[in-house]
Amino acid sequence: MLLRFDPFHDLNLLADEILGGRRLPQTMPMDCYRHGDALHLHFDMPGIDVETLDVTQESNTLTVRALRNATAPEDATFLVD
């Protein structure tokens, strides 16, 4: 299992909230394992539009992008985004 540790994660969230900083790409929950010669990645990506899924690999970086359609009414206030 891959683990990511960022001791400044909470501080960065607070600074972005207070200062209105830009939103950076976030890591998505995933499982990654090797079975024989194959590497398997399972991503949790609920609500994405499959047509927007884009997977690219460059050097040692795998990038997975997708868009999620907001289904809430226009005047709704998001509590968790």
Work out the mean pLDDT of the chain and round it to a whole number. Answer: 81
Per-residue confidence (pLDDT) for residue 55, from 0 to 100: 92
Task: Tell me the per-residue pLDDT of 52-71, one tens digit each, with 9 for 90 and over.
Answer: 999 999 988 888 888 887 67
Whole-model pTM: value is 0.49
CA atoms of 40 and 25, how far apart (whole Å): 22
One DSSP character per residue, 13-66 reads: HHHHHHHTPPPPP-PPPEEEEEETTEEEEEE--TTB-GGG-EEEEETTEEEEE-
Task: Tell me the per-residue pLDDT of 25-38, one tens digit each, with 9 for 90 and over.
Answer: 667 788 999 999 99
Residue whose pair of structure tokens reads 């079975």 in the numeric block: 35
